[in-house]
Structures are given as structure tokens and as C-alpha cells.
């Protein structure tokens, strides 16, 4: 578990850019002195142990994102999919500017021993926030690297105690068409909903994020609390969550209800399973020219491949 922990940030003590800038300088310095230091600096990354026998000053093979430079704050906050506001990625930030995220309640219910309603203050007290730098791969074929701030969903699940019958977790975003102009469009079955299998939800990579770049979550990125599931296409990472429900059935999700043949329940990043209308073999990293190959499970195979052993991933897309 410890290898996922990097900087633990007490929410009350966040010193915005400083956390990130110090870290970034440390990473740069570590890059010169050796792989182990570099990996420790971003210790949240999967497979963080240096490969046996690797020379001290060799660069890390870049399969985990450890050595990848995060996208800029400007990129991350001005190119957003958040259909409750707009289907135009460059328009979301402006439209979400005045979105009211306080007070906010997160209701956790269903097949649990301890259903509860948490305020953001409750969650900040209950969990110490960790920084996790994850790749985010959108199903549309672009990607970014984002330094999130948050806590493992597993921690919250431990508090509410899923009952033996709980098999899946259902997530629901806020429904507030007065504030979210895009929700007046009847093209989508609002509110936005998503789902995970319980074991996927409990995986240590699965994050409830409340910030990025050491700052509170920008509205356009899903304030005040959103899911981040880095080995799945970005649409699984549902924003502005008001309800989490433990259920015994595979829940319907917004995207699979609209186009089940295009957006399956699993939606694991997989270069070998094409979208019906385009290949998923490569992607464009925002800020880069050209394309890079897409990695199986977005590069997180070591952490998540066990979840899908024996499953046909062409069928269970
Ligand atoms: N509620 C909600 N969550 C959402 C979306 C959305 O439209 N509404 N878009 C998804 C998609 S398609 C992507 S790629 C990511 C984008 O997250 P970002 O803007 O923080 O990069 O959010 C996902 N979560
Ligand atoms: Mo996406």
C-alpha cells in the first residue's frame, strides 16, 4: 500500500503551487541521481520498485507514468468533458465558473452496514489526502497526466462496510439543471451515472479526488469530489458525485445506456479493442505533437490485470 503514497497532504495545510513545485524540482533532481529516488519521489506509481539489476542512473522504462511530466494546470482545466455544462471541451471552464459546490453532501447507501451522509468537511477530517499522478485516457483518443489529490475509495468502503450481497458500486452525479445548463438537453438521461464492480472499486488505484495540483478541485474537473479510475476510459471517472450506492446487480451507466455497443460497462483501456468507429491503438497526449501507443490498462496492468483473469476482454469491453 505504501508504494502508492507519495505526499500526504493535510487538507487544512495545502499550500497550493508549492506542494507541486517542490515535488517537481525534486523529481528533476532525482532524475539525475537515480531511478530509486525518482520512483520514491512519485511513490504512488504502480510497480514502483526499480527493476532488479537496473543501473542506478538509467532512466525508468516509461510504462507506469512515473517519469511522465504532468500536463499543465492550464491544459487540465481548459479542455474538459463535462456534458452537464457543455459538449464543447473549451467552453466548460467558463460555464462551470459559478457552480456552487458548498455545502455538498455525499450520500453512501444501499447494501452497507453503515449508510451515511458525509459533508466535504467530514471527508477531509476522515481521510488524509494523497497526491497521485495518473494518466487519464479519454475514449476519444487523447490523454493527459494529472496530479490528483484524494483518497482511496477503498477507505470509504471500509467505513460503510459493504454487506455480503454487495457486488457492484453505483455512482451518481448531481442533477441541477438550473446551474448546469447542459442538463437542459434531453439528449442525455441525466443525472450522469457510472458503476464499478466491487473489487474494482476496492482496488488501491481507485481514487476519490478532491483536488489537483495541490489545490481544491476546479469546478470543471468535477468539484468537489469525483472518481478517478486510471485504467479505464475517462468517462468512467464520474464527476461531482452526490451518491454512491452498493448494489447486487451490474448498474446501468449513462454512456452504455445511450450506446451499449460503443461504451461497455468495463471500458478498460485496451489498445486491442477498437471503438466501433475508431482504433484505440494510439492516442494524442495533450501538449504533444504526434501520437503515442496506447498501453494495456493504460499502463496499470501490474495493479489491475488480476481483476480480469479468465475474462474475455473482447466480449467484456
Ligand atoms: N458527471 C460527469 N462526469 C464525467 C463526464 C461528464 O460529462 N459528466 N465526462 C467524463 C469524460 S468523457 C472524461 S474524459 C473525464 C474528463 O475529466 P477532466 O475534465 O477532469 O479531464 O470526465 C468524465 N466524467
Ligand atoms: Mo472522455
Q: What is the pLDDT along the chain (317 residues), one digit of tens a residue?
A: 333 434 445 444 444 444 454 444 444 433 333 333 333 333 333 333 333 333 333 333 333 344 589 999 999 999 999 999 999 999 999 999 999 999 999 999 999 999 999 999 999 999 999 999 999 999 999 999 999 999 999 999 999 999 999 999 999 999 999 999 999 999 999 999 999 999 999 999 999 999 999 999 999 999 999 999 999 999 999 999 999 999 999 999 999 999 999 999 999 999 999 999 999 999 999 999 999 999 999 999 999 999 999 999 999 99
Is 313 part of any domain? Answer: no
Round to the nearest angstrom and report the end-to-end CA distance of the chain.
Answer: 28
Residue 51 CA to ligand 2 centre (angstroms): 33
Residues flanking ligand 1, CB < 6 Å: 80-84, 136, 138, 173, 192, 221-222, 234-235, 237-240
Domain that holds residue 287: 6-307
The residue behind cell 459546490 is 101
Coil/strand/helix, residue 166: coil
Is 147 part of any domain? Answer: yes
Is 316 part of any domain? Answer: no
| Kind and range of the H or E run holding 95 | helix 92-95
Q: Which ligand sits nearest to residue 236's alpha carbon? A: 1
pTM of the model as a whole: 0.84
Is 317 part of any domain? Answer: no
Is 150 part of any domain? Answer: yes
Answer for the pair 206, 105: CB distance below 8 angstroms, yes or no: no
Is 248 part of any domain? Answer: yes
Q: Cell numbers of 160, please? A: 460503510
Q: How far is the CA of 25 from the CAs of 28, 71, 135, in angstroms?
A: 5, 15, 20
Q: Are strands 282-285 and 292-293 parallel, antiparallel or unpaired?
A: antiparallel
Is 175 part of any domain? Answer: yes
- Nearest CA-CA partner of 97 in 3, 5, 181: 181
Q: Which ligand sits nearest to residue 146's alpha carbon? A: 1
Is 23 part of any domain? Answer: yes
| Total number of domains constituting the chain | 1
Please report, for the domain that includes residue 193, its CATH number: 3.90.420.10
Amino acid at each position: 500500500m505504501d508504494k502508492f503514497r507519495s505526499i500526504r497532504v493535510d487538507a487544512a495545510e495545502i499550500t497550493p503551487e508549492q506542494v507541486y513545485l517542490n515535488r517537481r524540482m525534486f523529481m528533476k533532481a532525482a532524475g539525475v541521481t537515480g531511478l530509486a529516488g525518482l520512483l520514491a519521489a512519485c511513490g504512488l506509481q504502480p510497480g514502483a520498485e526499480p527493476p532488479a539489476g537496473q543501473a542506478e542512473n538509467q532512466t525508468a522504462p516509461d510504462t507506469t507514468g512515473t517519469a511522465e511530466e504532468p500536463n499543465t494546470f492550464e491544459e487540465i482545466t481548459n479542455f474538459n468533458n463535462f456534458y452537464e455544462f457543455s459538449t464543447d471541451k473549451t467552453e466548460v471552464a467558463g460555464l462551470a465558473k459559478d457552480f456552487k459546490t458548498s455545502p455538498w453532501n455525499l450520500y453512501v447507501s444501499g447494501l452497507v452496514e453503515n449508510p451515511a451522509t458525509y459533508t466535504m468537511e467530514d471527508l477531509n477530517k476522515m481521510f488524509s489526502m494523497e497526491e497521485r499522478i495518473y494518466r487519464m485516457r479519454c475514449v476519444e483518443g487523447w490523454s493527459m497526466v494529472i496530479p490528483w489529490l484524494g483518497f482511496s475509495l477503498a477507505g470509504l468502503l471500509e467505513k460503510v462496510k459493504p454487506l455480503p450481497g454487495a457486488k457492484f458500486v453505483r455512482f451518481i452525479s448531481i442533477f441541477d439543471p438550473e446551474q448546469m445548463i447542459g442538463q437542459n438537453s434531453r439528449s442525455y438521461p441525466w443525472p450522469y451515472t457510472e458503476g464499478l464492480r466491487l473489487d474494482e472499486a476496492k482496488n488501491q488505484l481507485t481514487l476519490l479526488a478532491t483536488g489537483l495540483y495541490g489545490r481544491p478541485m476546479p469546478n470543471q474537473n468535477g468539484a468537489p469530489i469525483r472518481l478517478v479510475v486510471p485504467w479505464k476510459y475517462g468517462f468512467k471517472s464520474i464527476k461531482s458525485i452526490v451518491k454512491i450506492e452498493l448494489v447486487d446487480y451490474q448498474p446501468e451507466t449513462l454512456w452504455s445506456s445511450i450506446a451499449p455497443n460503443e461504451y461497455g460497462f468495463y471500458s478498460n483501456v485496451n489498445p486491442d479493442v477498437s471503438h466501433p468507429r475508431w482504433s484505440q491503438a494510439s492516442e494524442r497526449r495533450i501538449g504533444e505533437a504526434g501520437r503515442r501507443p496506447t498501453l494495456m490498462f493504460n499502463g496499470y496492468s501490474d495493479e489491475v490485470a488480476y481483476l480480469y483473469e479468465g475474462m474475455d476482454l473482447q466480449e467484456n469491453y
